[in-house]
Structure 1
Amino acid sequence: MEIISKQIFNNIQQTQQAQGQQTFKLAFSLYQKLANSQNLVFSPASIYLALAMVAIGSKEQTLQEFKNLLDFNDINQLSKATASILKILQKDENNLKAHIANKVYSGLPELGADYQLIVSQNLGATIEKVNFIQYFEQIRTQINEWVQLVTQQKIKNLLPPGSLNQSTAMVLVNAIYFKGDWFKKFDKKKTQKLDFFLEYENAGQKIKTDIMSIQEYFDYYEDGNFQYIQIPYKGGQYSMEILLPRSSIQQFEQTLSDQVFQKARVNKFNKKLKLYLPKFKIQPESVIDLQYILKQLGITTAFSNNADFSFMDPTKKVVLSNVYHKSVIEVNEDGAEAAASTAVVMQLSIQKDIQMLCNKPFIYSITHIPSQTILFLGKVTDPSKLS
């Protein structure tokens, strides 16, 4: 019986990891396009789920491009995978909260019945009929208020002025909120002002910033190129992963891929070490419009007059116009709080003591470990800045 139970557990874990892999590859494709010299935070899971709602409504060449980017074979597989991702990621406990919500604002005269069924049942999306022609600005405010509510006031003004107009046909929105306490909290009395060494255009300079420290057992890996650590949150499902390059982060990013994370995860070992990690808060003022990046990643037909979204719009008149994304994250001695939202706008014609000293730019993620789904991914280049 024990062997059977173990096999069942392994099968479940393998299935969850297969689903997480679909967001994993997208995460690093987006990272390579978004990364520059600034602090960075974005949510691969939010972007994936928003794009999935769009992909489910597509056909022909438009669908094929989404298949290539999101790594699925057919709509049935995609809808089941997204349903499973939503189910395993949602948590509502005293020390850890992970909330995900999807919503469709439709101004179409007719929205495909089968499309409505799939996104409501599998993605848990609510569908609201609206009139963009008369009330597009009021609807923009309404969408921003909904996102603000879901993300506990963390994401404000997702849709900027001018993002909607009388030609807007649909807006598909995903919002994610995460707040977790560390499994072992950092002692606030041990936080001290230490040097953090800057890179990029400020290479050679240093700043004083609040750096936390803790000596504890962690899952850890190192090689000649980087150090890696998993810092668990309470509940055992989520961890913050840190990649600290031994060289400059600019050099390290040139070869960064999902395989680097996979190598560390597979070869990690539990080790007692001294960890130094800066407190940081990344709260960008502006939103990211992913249109240009998605085109670079192969989503071109969807943005053209040749787009085929006839599964959601039988009249075949809608095209993809913009994909807006915004994330925030805050990390301190107690844990982390993060939120993200993605809106897709469619209109007529997203054994010795080891020390890990994060006193220079590093890459981080907040990850659902059993499924390897990355909720948030980014980097810290200057912890003293908000964005």
Structure 2
Amino acid sequence: MANVMKEFVEANNSFLPSVYREIVKEEKGNILVSPLSAETVLALTHSGCRGQTAEELRIALHLPDDPAKIQSAVKAVLSELSDLKTNEGCKLFIANKMYIRKDFSIKDEFQKIASEVYFSTSENIDFAMNVRAAETINSWVEKVTENKIKNLIHSQVLDEFTRVILVNALYFKGAWIEKFHLTNTKKTKFYKSRNEVVKVDAMANRPSQNFSICISKELKAKLLQLPIHGDASMVFVLPDKRLGLADLESKIDKVFFPHVFYKTEVTVLLPKFKIEHQTNFTAILRNLGVHRIFSDDDADLSGIAGEKGDLLVNEILQKTFIDVSEEGVEAAAATDLKIPIPYCGRKHRPQKFIADHPFIFYLKVKDMIIFAGRVTEPYY
């Protein structure tokens, strides 16, 4: 089982750099994405795809070429992560739900996979009553993300032709094992660009405090790992140069690759930040070679319902939220998919990690990266 889980973790963590690269092509500011939220709902969709439609999606998601392996891995990972719900100092909630048109019949096999593998519930809904339907879906998402994700889906994208809406919602709240004291937080300069400097609230640690750090010559960056209750941690990747973010992002695969950390005395200054972000996964997947699932002529989702050509995917949106402060981290994500008709380390010595310019971060639980992003504007 451990090997099966490892495959899904690796698939998720490999999917992330591909997604990150696509997002930064279009966006200049803060970004935040949840690879796990997207990977989960897309893997569920994949289980209902057939032929080349399934193969294109499988390759983009880095999934193994064996449906049984995928299902075993997903079930094992979701079961393992769900154990964190009751962990003191850490709360992780992952939920999947299918909204099905009131008179539309989902195939029994897909319904079984959704329920037994993805722990997904289902609800029949009248999409023609689009305002009410959107309110129903959004209220569920708000509830499971502690009101952090609002208005995931707009009523305009729902109509009488909508057959199925697949939604994944993910909420995480974790306390730092070594908290930052509020009294140490201070105003400091943050260099957004060569010519723009702003004042931000930055968290500072106690003197002579040890943290896990990695000095990467390859990335020309320092990595700081802060442990969170519940076998979780957050990693901050700070370029050595104030204008080094673009160079760091050009090696994004290696940024998210496992690194070797060592514990030493570190002086930390880290800005507080909140990010809300929306990602259009439809465009991202197209750029990653997924085309058939969006095509009137080629989409084969017959494992979900009907025959080839009866269903296609026309929208995959994700909304994310993260709050990094003295107490810890709070984050949430929701992804909806609409289906209508047609190595590093140095000798141990005191280090400084002064995050006074743009950086990358990622949040992981049991080696699974569940959120990642960058901070160019640390507003709080």
Q: TM-score, normalised by structure 1?
A: 0.90
2:285 is aligned, of 269, 287, 294, to: 294
Residue 7 of structure 1 is matched in structure 2 by none
Q: Number of residues paired by the alignment? A: 361
CA distance in 1, matches of 2:33, 2:183: 31
2:245 is aligned, of 217, 242, 249, to: 249
Residue 362 of structure 1 is matched in structure 2 by 359
Report the more deviating stretch, 17-26 or 215-224: 215-224
Residue 89 of structure 1 is matched in structure 2 by 81
Report the residue type matching 2:125 in the other structure.
V
Residue 219 of structure 1 is matched in structure 2 by 212
Residue 335 of structure 1 is matched in structure 2 by 328
CA distance in 2, matches of 1:70, 1:291: 13
CA distance in 2, matches of 1:128, 1:78: 25
CA distance in 2, matches of 1:300, 1:18: 25
- Indicate conservation of the 8 Å contact 1:65/1:299, yes or no: yes
- Indicate conservation of the 8 Å contact 2:130/2:156, yes or no: no
- Indicate conservation of the 8 Å contact 1:137/1:165, yes or no: no
Residue 176 of structure 2 is matched in structure 1 by 182
Report the residue type matching 1:96 in the other structure.
C
Residue 206 of structure 1 is matched in structure 2 by 197
Report the residue type matching 1:180 in the other structure.
G
1:29 is aligned, of 14, 18, 30, to: 18
- Indicate conservation of the 8 Å contact 1:211/1:279, yes or no: yes
Report the residue type matching 1:358 in the other structure.
A
1:70 aligns with 2:61: yes
Residue 276 of structure 1 is matched in structure 2 by 269
Gap change, CA 1:279 and 1:359, over 3 Å in 2? same
The CA deviation at 1:254 is 1.6
Question: What is the aligned-residue identity percentage?
Answer: 29
1:347 is aligned, of 334, 340, 354, to: 340
- Indicate conservation of the 8 Å contact 1:361/1:380, yes or no: yes
2:185 is aligned, of 191, 198, 202, to: 191
Report the more deviating stretch, 207-216 or 353-362: 207-216
CA distance in 1, matches of 2:74, 2:318: 19
CA distance in 1, matches of 2:315, 2:239: 34
Gap change, CA 1:282 and 1:221, over 3 Å in 2? same
- Indicate conservation of the 8 Å contact 1:221/1:268, yes or no: yes
The CA deviation at 1:253 is 0.9
1:229 is aligned, of 224, 231, 238, to: 224
1:98-148: per-residue Cα shift (whole Å, max 9, x none)? 000000011262211111101100100001122323x23211110000000
SS of residue in 1 equivalent to 2:134 = helix
Report the residue type matching 2:192 in the other structure.
L
Residue 315 of structure 1 is matched in structure 2 by 307
CA distance in 2, matches of 1:378, 1:141: 29
1:103 aligns with 2:65: no
CA distance in 2, matches of 1:320, 1:303: 5
Gapped runs of 5+ residues in structure 2? Answer: 343-347
CA distance in 2, matches of 1:161, 1:114: 30
SS of residue in 2 equivalent to 1:143 = helix
Residue 121 of structure 1 is matched in structure 2 by 116
CA distance in 2, matches of 1:352, 1:261: 25
1:158-204: per-residue Cα shift (whole Å, max 9, x none)? 002412111111100000000000001001111100000012xxx32
- Indicate conservation of the 8 Å contact 2:214/2:222, yes or no: yes
SS of residue in 2 equivalent to 1:318 = coil
Residue 380 of structure 1 is matched in structure 2 by 375
Report the residue type matching 1:74 in the other structure.
D
Give RMSD over aligned pairs. 1.5
CA distance in 2, matches of 1:124, 1:378: 28
CA distance in 2, matches of 1:244, 1:42: 18
The CA deviation at 1:80 is 1.4
The CA deviation at 1:353 is 1.0
Report the residue type matching 1:356 in the other structure.
F
Report the residue type matching 1:319 in the other structure.
L
Report the residue type matching 2:333 in the other structure.
A
Report the residue type matching 2:60 in the other structure.
L
CA distance in 1, matches of 2:236, 2:312: 39
The CA deviation at 1:15 is 5.1
Residue 169 of structure 1 is matched in structure 2 by 163
2:127 is aligned, of 104, 109, 132, to: 132
Residue 6 of structure 1 is matched in structure 2 by none
Report the residue type matching 1:273 in the other structure.
V
Q: TM-score, normalised by structure 2?
A: 0.91
1:12-42: per-residue Cα shift (whole Å, max 9, x none)? 4x65433211110111111111123211111
Residue 325 of structure 1 is matched in structure 2 by 318
CA distance in 2, matches of 1:88, 1:104: 22
- Indicate conservation of the 8 Å contact 1:67/1:74, yes or no: no
